[in-house]
């Protein structure tokens, strides 16, 4: 199975449907971080704003539940409302078919993405769905994206609690299949704990034995990295012999570790401010062509919220952004769908198996 990039079905704004449509209205933000009344909120789809008669502009980067700002240079940027400055000009109007000068393009890639049939199918997705074709499509996609796209991984700590899964993930980094990593303090801490002491939360990641005082292990790891000043410094000090964080840093893969109220430590690189972390994450997601979210409800939903269904490449090509959620729980996967991230594909399984199987099935790299 070879991956074929679907072609973008550009709307024809010269057609009769778009005749006599008004220009999009842009009203000033009344205060910092506050939108004007009747603001338009973005969805995951390409959206066009008529800024001059017959000129419909598509923002290069979008995401849902944000506002569209007409920048001084005449471009449209999609921004979180909290980042608005007083007086910035925000698109207003909630019609989606051009009646307010805004057009939401819900079928940008024909039937390939988000067709009605697929939506219908996904609503009944369960652990008993057949996933063979999803795996095959995913392998083909990843092999394509390794060279022509950017694959961003979102991962909860389950990805490092298991010896083989952690090794497979590390290999994926080394083989060029990871162009960004979005995670929390826990993933990095337990990955580094495994590198430093062989355990995760005090339990050997292979034998599952718990050494005496093993519950100190993650605290000792956190303390020693904080003492070094950074993960990289701990690596230079020879404390980190293997693992995902080591591979990510050595291969200069961008990563964001977002802080949370569950954290011990935290590691020095963790971003404490949730909204600064969102900004850093979105900067990585902005470049994404495929996102794979593994076993983390918090991060999957956070990244799902900021991942659009399309992106515009440097060469100006409009193409889909693929989103996969891998989790054990129908609830998590449905929750993602309930928030409007309809383009997500789901594979219901243990991420341990997912990582080992996927790494083993991919060709290419190294």
227 scored as a contact of a copy of itself (CB under 8 A): yes
Q: Which stretch binds a copy of itself (CB under 8 A): 1-9, 34-42, 45-53, 97-105?
A: 34-42
Report the residue from 1, 10, 41, 55 that binds a copy of itself according to the rule CB under 8 A: 41
9 scored as a contact of a copy of itself (CB under 8 A): no
Site for a copy of itself in 159-218 (CB under 8 A): 161-165, 200-201, 203-209, 213, 215-216
The Cα–Cα gap between 173 and 181 comes to 10
Report the residue from 87, 275, 283, 317 that binds a copy of itself according to the rule CB under 8 A: 275
Of the pair 14, 123, the CB lying nearest a copy of itself is at 123
The Cα–Cα gap between 100 and 67 comes to 15
CA distances from residue 92 to 85, 106, 306 in whole angstroms, order as listed: 16, 19, 21
Report the residue from 12, 53, 73, 124 that binds a copy of itself according to the rule CB under 8 A: 124
CA atoms within 13 A on the CB side of 333: 22
Element (H, E) at 196: helix 185-197
Report the residue from 2, 116, 261, 315 that binds a copy of itself according to the rule CB under 8 A: 261
90 scored as a contact of a copy of itself (CB under 8 A): no
CA distances from residue 165 to 93, 191, 280 in whole angstroms, order as listed: 48, 11, 26
Of the pair 10, 275, the CB lying nearest a copy of itself is at 275
354 scored as a contact of a copy of itself (CB under 8 A): yes
- Residue 154 in contact with residue 182, Cβ under 8 Å? yes
CA distances from residue 10 to 39, 54, 66 in whole angstroms, order as listed: 25, 15, 23
Report the residue from 155, 337, 343, 344 that binds a copy of itself according to the rule CB under 8 A: 337
Q: What is the CA radius of gyration of the chain?
A: 22
329 scored as a contact of a copy of itself (CB under 8 A): yes
Report the residue from 126, 148, 241, 251 that binds a copy of itself according to the rule CB under 8 A: 126
* Binding residue count for a copy of itself, defined by CB under 8 A: 90
The Cα–Cα gap between 41 and 125 comes to 29
Smallest distance from the beta carbon of 300 to a copy of itself, in angstroms? 9
240 scored as a contact of a copy of itself (CB under 8 A): no
DSSP string computed for 211-262: -TTGGGHHHHHHHHHHHHSSHHHHHHTT---SSHHHHHHHTT--EEEE--TT
53 scored as a contact of a copy of itself (CB under 8 A): no
The CA dihedral of 54, 88, 66, 12, to the nearest 10 degrees, is 0
Of the pair 21, 190, the CB lying nearest a copy of itself is at 190
272 scored as a contact of a copy of itself (CB under 8 A): yes
Report the residue from 114, 214, 265, 308 that binds a copy of itself according to the rule CB under 8 A: 265
334 scored as a contact of a copy of itself (CB under 8 A): yes
Residue (of 161, 197, 183) closest to 266 by Cα position: 183
2 scored as a contact of a copy of itself (CB under 8 A): no
19 scored as a contact of a copy of itself (CB under 8 A): no
């Amino acid at each position: 199975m070879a991956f074929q990039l679907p072609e973008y079905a550009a709307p024809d704004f010269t057609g009769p449907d778009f005749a006599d449509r008004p220009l999009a209205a842009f009203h000033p933000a009344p205060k910092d971080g506050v939108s004007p009344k009747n603001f338009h909120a973005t969805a995951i789809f390409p959206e066009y704003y008529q800024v001059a008669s017959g000129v419909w502009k598509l923002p290069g980067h979008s995401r849902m539940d944000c506002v569209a700002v007409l920048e001084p240079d005449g471009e449209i940027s999609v921004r979180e409302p909290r980042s608005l400055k007083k007086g910035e000009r925000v698109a207003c109007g909630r019609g989606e078919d051009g009646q307010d000068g805004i057009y939401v393009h819900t079928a940008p890639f024909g039937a390939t993405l988000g067709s009605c049939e697929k939506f219908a199918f996904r609503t009944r997705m369960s652990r008993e769905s057949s996933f063979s074709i999803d795996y095959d499509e995913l392998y083909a996609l990843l092999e394509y994206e390794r060279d022509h796209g950017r694959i961003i991984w979102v991962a909860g700590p389950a990805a490092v609690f298991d010896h083989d899964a952690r090794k497979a993930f590390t290999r994926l980094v080394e083989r060029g299949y990871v162009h960004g990593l979005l995670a929390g303090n826990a993933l990095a801490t337990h990955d580094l704990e495994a590198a430093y002491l062989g355990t995760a939360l005090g339990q050997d990641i292979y034998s599952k034995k718990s050494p005496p005082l093993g519950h100190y292990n993650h605290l000792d790891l956190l303390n020693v990295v904080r003492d070094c000043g950074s993960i990289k410094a701990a690596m230079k000090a020879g404390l980190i012999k293997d693992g995902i964080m080591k591979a990510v840093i050595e291969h200069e893969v961008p990563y964001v570790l977002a802080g949370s109220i569950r954290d011990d430590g935290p590691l020095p690189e963790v971003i404490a401010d949730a909204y600064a972390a969102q900004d850093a994450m979105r900067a990585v997601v902005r470049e994404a062509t495929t996102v794979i979210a593994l076993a983390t409800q918090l991060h999957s939903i956070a990244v799902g919220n900021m991942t659009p269904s399309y992106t515009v490449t440097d060469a100006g090509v409009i193409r889909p952004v693929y989103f996969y959620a891998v989790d054990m729980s129908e609830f998590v996967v449905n929750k993602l769908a309930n928030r409007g991230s309809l383009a997500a594909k789901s594979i219901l399984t243990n991420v341990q198996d997912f990582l080992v199987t996927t790494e083993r099935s991919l060709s290419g790299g190294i």
